[in-house]
């Protein structure tokens, strides 16, 4: 007799700096028989894989091409400038975009902050491939990197620090998935990220074990009416 195959996993893409661990733990509690597979990706890569069906959903940063996709905002991130310790920007707790006018700005190819390309400052001679490579260049004194705060924390180094840019556009993290009828697993994950409880009417119901029938011997029989004396 052929054994039933394991259910297909729910594949979730996520970009650097996004930490899906909390949601993954809740998923494991609610769906112990459905594996949640976490797939690191860039925003563009995650969107492409969602469209081809390689991913069920993704945690990405705006902007994205929303054609054929749902997207719900989850939270916003502060934009910061990553600089060496002792840099002029560190004399204050915060900085403004115009303070970058005399700086060389690094634009890694995996960066999703499109607006940063219009910020004042000189473009670097070298375009780093990744945010990690850009951080190495900042440490070498080549330039300044503008990223969401979560990425600055992810690539923390003792010789670097960062300052919030008070007037820079913030970065929005969204959950995105195909614009089609939602599966039960998709509804489950939407409920998790939106904070729905297990008993929420929008949360898919799991099969419940039917209540065991009471043994016939233990059932109470209705009392018979006694016959009156004639």
In a domain, 225, yes or no: no
Same domain as 178, residue 66: yes
Residue 80 has pLDDT above 70, yes or no: yes
Same domain as 93, residue 158: yes
pTM: 0.81
Q: How many CB atoms lie within 10 A of CB 87?
A: 19
Q: What is the DSSP string of 137-155?
A: HHHTTS-EEEEEHHHHHHT
Which of these ranges, 24-28, 60-64, 167-171, 210-214, has the smallest mean pLDDT?
Answer: 210-214
Same domain as 90, residue 40: no
How many domains is the chain partitioned into structurally?
Answer: 2
Same domain as 179, residue 66: yes
pLDDT of residue 207: 44
Q: Structure tokens of 102?
A: 């005399």
Q: What is the mean pLDDT of residues 58-78?
A: 95
Domain assignment of residue 48, given as a range? 10-75+172-193
CA 105 vs CA 115, 127, 141: distances in Å: 12, 10, 11
Same domain as 187, residue 117: no
pLDDT band at 16; cut points 50, 70, 90: very high
How far is 132 from 135, CA to CA, in rounded Å? Answer: 5
Per residue in 144-159, pLDDT (tens digit) is 999 999 999 999 999 9
Same domain as 182, residue 118: no
CATH code of the domain in which 95 resides: 3.40.190.10
Same domain as 63, residue 109: no
Same domain as 47, residue 22: yes
Same domain as 87, residue 103: yes
Buried b (16+ CB within 10 A) or exposed e, 33-51: ebebebeebbbebbbbbbe
Same domain as 14, residue 120: no
């Amino acid at each position: 007799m052929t054994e039933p195959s394991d259910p297909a996993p729910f594949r979730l893409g996520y970009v650097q700096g996004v930490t899906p661990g909390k949601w993954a733990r809740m998923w494991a509690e609610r769906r112990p028989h459905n594996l949640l597979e976490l797939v690191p990706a860039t925003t563009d890569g995650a969107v492409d894989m969602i469209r081809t069906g390689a991913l069920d959903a993704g945690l990405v940063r705006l902007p994205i091409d929303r054609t054929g996709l749902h997207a719900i905002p989850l939270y916003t991130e502060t934009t910061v400038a990553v600089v060496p310790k002792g840099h002029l920007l560190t004399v204050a707790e915060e900085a403004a975009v115009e303070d970058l006018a005399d700086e060389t700005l690094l634009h890694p190819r995996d960066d999703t902050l499109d607006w940063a390309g219009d910020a004042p400052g000189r473009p670097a001679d070298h375009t780093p491939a990744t945010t990690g490579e850009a951080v190495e260049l900042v440490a070498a004194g080549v330039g300044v990197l503008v990223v969401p705060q979560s990425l600055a924390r992810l690539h923390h180094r003792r010789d670097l620090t960062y300052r919030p840019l008070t007037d820079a556009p913030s970065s929005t993290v969204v959950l995105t998935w195909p614009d089609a009828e939602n599966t039960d697993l998709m509804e489950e994950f939407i409920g998790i990220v939106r904070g729905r409880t297990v008993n929420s009417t929008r949360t898919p119901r799991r099969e419940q074990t039917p209540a065991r029938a009471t043994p016939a011997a233990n059932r109470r029989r209705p009392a018979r009416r006694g016959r009156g004396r004639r």
